[in-house]
A = this chain, B = another copy of it.
C-alpha cells in the first residue's frame, strides 16, 4: 500500500500490516501515522528517496509504502450467510473496481466478489479509488464466474445482473420484493457487459432505465444506482 491515506486506512482496517517504509521527508510530514504504526507493533524502516521511488508505482512517490497481507478471503467467507453481495464479473479498470468496492461498502454489502478477469484489487489505482473500503469489508477473488453464481444461489442469494437490455426495469413493481430479500448484484465488463453465460445463469437481468438521450451509464454509476436501489427497497416506507 502506498501513500499516506492508503497506509493510514490499512493500519485502521482489518488487514495485517507488516512493515512501513518511510523517507525522512515523509516521516516529518506524518508523525501521527508512524505513531499509530508503532502502537500497532508494525516495523518502521527508514529508506532513502531513491529506495522509496523504486518501491513506488506512481510518478510522484509520497515516500511512504506499507507491506500488507493480501486482503482477499475465501469465497465462502463472503457469500455464506450474506444478504447483500456485489460481484464484479470482468471489470478491467482499477478505478472502477475501487469505486464499486467503495459503493458496496457505503450501501452496506456484506462483501465483494471479484470474479473472472476482474482487475487485481491490490492494484494501486484500485486501492486509491476504494478510499479505504478495500480494508472495510471482505473481498474475494475467483476466476470461475458461473461457479460464483452457483455459490451465491447455494447461499440463498437471488442473482441479479445489471444489463442495459435486461427484461426487468430497476424500478419495476415486482423487483422491490426481490431487492428486499437476500441478493447478489453482478456487474459485467465495461466493454462487453456480463456476457451471455452470466446473463443466462442469473435469476434476473435488470435494466437501469435511461430516460434521456444518453446511450448508457458508466459502470461505476450504474453499480451505485443498483446497489442503492437495494438500500431503498430495504428502507421501510409508509404507503397509502
Contact = CB atoms under 8 A, between A and B. Distances in A.
B99 A215 contact: no
A73 interface: no
A interface bracket (residues with beta carbon within 8 Å of B)? 35 or more
Most chain B CB neighbours (cut-off 10 Å) among A107, A212, A218: A212
Contact of A99 (B173, B211, B218): B218
Interface in A195-240: 208-218, 220-221, 224-225, 228-229, 231-232, 235, 237-240
Given A136-B213, A216-B106, A208 B228 contact: yes
A189 interface: no
Within the oligomer, what is the number of copies of this chain?
A: 2
A108 interface: yes
Query: What secondary structure prevails in chain A residues at the interface with B?
Result: loop
A176 B108 CA distance: 22
Contacts of A235: 169, 171, 209
A116 interface: no
A16 interface: no
A17 interface: no
A208 B210 CA distance: 21
A174 to B, nearest CB: 9
A133 B171 contact: no
Nearest to A172: B235
B225 A133 contact: no
Interface of A: 99, 102-109, 131-133, 136-137, 169-171, 173, 176, 208-218, 220-221, 224-225, 228-229, 231-232, 235, 237-240
15 contacts: A103-B214, A103-B221, A106-B212, A106-B214, A107-B212, A131-B214, A132-B213, A132-B214, A136-B213, A136-B214, A171-B231, A224-B224, A225-B228, A228-B229, A239-B239
